Amino acid sequence: MDKLYTVEDIATMTMLTSRTIRTYIKEGILKGRKIGGQWRFTEEDVKTMMENGTYQKEYFSNLRQDINDFLDGVNDFGKGEMQGLTIVDLYQPKEFVAAKLEKLMEFINAYEDTPNNWMSFSSEYIESEEKTRVVIFAQPKYLSEALKTLE
């Protein structure tokens, strides 16, 4: 059985808000199904959304802004706590990296209920360079552990 993702999972993966994800559902950019009154999405649903031009434009604009905000010290991650940002380029086959990103998502989900915890990541496959760029925002105490999932 395929793993199903929630609105919150997709928001975390894409660094978009849950509200934006729900807008994508209404606009048909993201398709899924309701199970027990809550939206659930397959990996294929997420991939289809990520290939949509509207999503890509907004996603990369938001990601660049988040990185710039981090560098300028005006981002809202961590709410005054120690913050970290890591950008990793993986020069490995897309399919191999997909398994690593799944482990990273599992790692992040394992800590989502920890008080004062916050982590977020995004990834982009750059076809012309045959690499996957992964951007991780997290508290430094979690960054090294998150990076281990990508080894």
Provide the b/e sequence for 32-66 (b: ≥16 CB within 10 Å).
Answer: beeeeeebbbeeebbeebbebeebeebbeebbeeb
Model-wide pTM > 0.85 = no
Structural domains of the chain, with CATH: 1-75 (1.10.1660.10), 77-151 (3.30.310)
Q: What is the pLDDT along the chain (151 residues), one digit of tens a residue?
A: 678 999 998 887 777 788 989 999 999 999 999 999 999 999 899 888 888 877 778 777 878 888 888 888 776 666 667 788 899 999 988 888 888 988 888 888 787 666 666 777 888 888 888 888 899 888 888 888 889 999 8
